[in-house]
Structure 1
Amino acid sequence: MTPPPPVAEAASNESSYPIYVGFWERLAATLLDSLMLMCITVPLTLLVFGIDAILENDALILGPLDVVINYLLPFILIILFWHYKSATPGKMVLRAVIVDADTLQKPSTTSLIVRYLGYIPSTLVLGLGYLWVAFDPRKQSWHDKLAGTLVIRAPKD
């Protein structure tokens, strides 16, 4: 009878699931998502307001329709992607999904909304909420911590 393998060897044979998605991959996914959203919002904004109104106006927000196009529409699209696909298109390209931090299952819609709204403090404090991913053991941003979510590598099919 052979003795069991040493603990270190046994641990190295175990699956390391979940695999947390780190800062640089999440940044790449965000850049892809931002480009895709801009392909929708910029033409709509130009169509509604025209180039002259945008270039000649110093206002940060051009009115209620601007809020709908540039704030509400992205909010709805992102929440829908998170809810139905557990990822935005940028995360899908990288095989990353958003899961509940405790169960590793699909988060509730409430958690997803909290996660999105958590972008505000993550951004306002000099972007530290996003940089936190680089130093957190589970690669959680502040908005992940607020919502109780993780971004992990999707299991292979």
Structure 2
Amino acid sequence: MSAQPSFAAPGIQAPGIFAYAGFWRRLVAIIIDWIVLMVAGLVIGFTLGLFLIRGGVSAQSGRTVAKILGMTIGWLYFALMESSVKQATLGKMALGLMVTDLNGGRISFARATGRHFAKIISALLLLIGFVMAGFTSRKQALHDMIASCLVIRQW
């Protein structure tokens, strides 16, 4: 008996075989995401600032509110988008990337939240946790390993 080779249609990955997203593609995606978040932050911050000034809130209290709001928006942006049907932020979509579990499935909001906050560990290690994506066999950064996730290419 000879083993039958398995074939997948062009552009379609065979089950369990993924085209992992490399470091540079992921870097461009995160830069796009930072730009999106900065623009959103400026719009929200300006609007919030007007309300706080009219309400007589001190500058220090306004900065505290802005920091908390900024962290919350960043967390929700990444966690909601990466656990959505698209499985990607706007930056990842622009580069044809998506976040999956180790089997290629959609991740939950809780796992996306864990992945997001695990990025703090990646950053605290002099960004080495991010750079790991360029050197591991499945192109995983430290936060991907912690959350048991993959970032794969769709095209």
Asked if TM exceeds 0.5, the reply is yes
Structure 1 counterpart SS, 2:111: helix
Deviation at residue 95 of structure 1 after TM alignment: 1.0
Deviation at residue 48 of structure 1 after TM alignment: 2.7
Deviation at residue 68 of structure 1 after TM alignment: 3.5
Question: Contact conserved, 2:92 with 2:98, CA < 8 A, in 1?
Answer: yes
Counterpart of 1:7? none
Structure 2 CA distance for aligned equivalents of residues 108 and 81 of structure 1: 11
Counterpart of 1:149? 149
Question: Contact conserved, 1:44 with 1:69, CA < 8 A, in 2?
Answer: no
Deviation at residue 69 of structure 1 after TM alignment: 2.5
**TM-score normalized by the length of structure 2:** 0.78
Deviation at residue 49 of structure 1 after TM alignment: 3.2
Counterpart of 1:136? 136
Structure 1 CA distance for aligned equivalents of residues 76 and 18 of structure 2: 28
Q: Percent sequence identity over matched residues?
A: 27
Runs of 5+ consecutive residues of structure 1 not aligned to the other structure = 5-9
Counterpart of 2:120? 120
Deviation at residue 21 of structure 1 after TM alignment: 0.2
Counterpart of 1:47? 47
CA RMSD of aligned residues (A): 2.7
Structure 2 CA distance for aligned equivalents of residues 77 and 25 of structure 1: 19
The range that moved more, 114-123 or 38-47, is: 38-47
Counterpart of 2:111? 111
Structure 1 CA distance for aligned equivalents of residues 43 and 106 of structure 2: 33
Question: Contact conserved, 2:28 with 2:91, CA < 8 A, in 1?
Answer: yes
**What code does the residue aligned with 1:89 have?**
L
Structure 2 counterpart SS, 1:27: helix
Structure 1 CA distance for aligned equivalents of residues 142 and 130 of structure 2: 7
Structure 2 CA distance for aligned equivalents of residues 125 and 42 of structure 1: 29
Deviation at residue 107 of structure 1 after TM alignment: 1.5
Counterpart of 1:97? 98
- The number of equivalent residue pairs is 138
Question: Contact conserved, 1:119 with 1:143, CA < 8 A, in 2?
Answer: yes
Distance 1:45 1:26, change over 3 A: same
Structure 2 counterpart SS, 1:118: helix
Runs of 4 or more, structure 1, over 4 Å off, are 13-16
Counterpart of 2:56? none
Structure 1 counterpart SS, 2:21: coil
